[in-house]
């Protein structure tokens, strides 16, 4: 499925609308994977794998596409955790006046192959597995992990 739109049109949409996204809480060996973002919004923050949903793409399809794009593995969806939102003052486009607003449907996923290596895309520079909610995490990440009670 390839329904990506031009950067110019996406810039207008981000300026004027919330963006529907999926985020994945990937659990392996009682730890959660976080990836370090290289780009705005949330540049230099540890985040879940995830991203926008494309037109005519189901949420489940978006989960499988985004996880494969961002970390190079296939997953099994275990549950839909819930809906959240993030609002950032900046965004991928430098000319944004209204920032970036995303509506995030969060899924619990596990790797299909627990031995598959993590292969990051060009938008991320590192990854880590966490087993507790650290104080250095973005408030959105902390909230999802707390709400889902992932470490208790």
Tokens of 112: 């299909």
pLDDT at 1 over 60: no
Residues 97/89, Cβ–Cβ less than 8 Å? no
Q: Which domains does the chain carry?
A: 7-148 (3.90.79.10)
At 50 the three-state DSSP class reads strand
Instruction: List pLDDT tens digits, range 44-88.
Output: 999 999 999 999 999 999 999 999 999 999 999 999 999 999 999
Q: Does the structure show a pLDDT above 70 at 3?
A: no
94-149 pLDDT, tens per residue?
888 899 999 999 999 999 999 999 999 999 999 999 999 999 999 999 999 999 99
Cα 53–chain centre separation: 11
| pLDDT of amino acid 79 | 97
3-state secondary structure 3-37: CCCCHHHHHHHHHHCCEEEEEEEEEECCEEEEEEE
């Amino acid at each position: 499925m390839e329904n990506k739109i031009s950067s110019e049109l996406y810039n207008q949409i981000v300026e004027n609308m919330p963006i529907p996204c999926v985020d994945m809480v990937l659990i392996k060996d009682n730890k959660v994977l976080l990836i370090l973002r290289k780009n705005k919004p949330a540049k230099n923050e540890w985040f879940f794998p995830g991203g926008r949903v494309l037109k005519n793409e189901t949420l489940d399809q978006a989960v499988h596409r985004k996880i494969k794009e961002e970390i190079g593995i296939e997953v099994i969806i275990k549950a839909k955790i819930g809906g959240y939102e993030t609002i950032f003052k900046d965004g991928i486009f430098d000319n944004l006046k209204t920032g970036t607003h995303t509506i995030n449907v969060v899924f619990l996923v596990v790797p299909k192959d627990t031995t598959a290596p993590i292969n990051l895309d060009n938008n991320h520079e590192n990854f880590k597995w966490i087993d507790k909610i650290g104080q250095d995490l973005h408030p959105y990440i902390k909230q999802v992990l707390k709400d889902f009670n992932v470490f208790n």
